[in-house]
Amino acid sequence: MKNLFKSLIVLVVILLSGCVDTIYDIGNADFNDGRAKFDHQDYAGSLTSFTRCANKGNPNCMFGVGAADKALGYPEVAKSWFTLAARYGLKPAQDTLTENGWPVPAADLANQSGNIGALDLTNSFLKGYNQGTQSQTNCTSTVIGSQVFTNCN
DSSP state of 19: -
By CB neighbour count within 10 A (0-12 exposed, 13-18 middle, 19+ buried), where does 133 fall? middle
pLDDT attached to residue 152? 56
Question: How many Å apart are CA 109 and CA 89, to the nearest integer?
Answer: 7
Contact between residue 90 and residue 60 where contact means Cβ atoms under 8 Å apart: yes
pLDDT attached to residue 56? 87
Question: How many Å apart are CA 151 and CA 116, to the nearest integer?
Answer: 19
Cβ neighbours of residue 94 closer than 8 Å, sequence gap 6 or more: 86, 104, 107
Question: Regarding beta strands 139-144 and 147-152, do their DSSP bridges make them parallel or antiparallel, or are they unpaired?
Answer: antiparallel
Q: Which residues pair with 142 in a beta bridge?
A: 149
Domain range annotation of the chain? 2-152
CA distances to 14, 56, 59, 99 from 79, rounded to whole Å, are 18, 19, 14, 12
Contact between residue 118 and residue 110 where contact means Cβ atoms under 8 Å apart: no
Per-residue pLDDT 10s for the chain (153 aa) are 566 555 555 554 455 444 443 444 445 899 999 999 999 999 999 999 999 999 988 999 999 999 999 999 999 999 999 999 999 999 999 999 999 999 999 999 887 654 444 444 444 444 444 444 444 445 554 444 444 445 555
Ramachandran area for residue 27 (φ above 0: left; ψ -120 to 50: alpha; else beta)? left
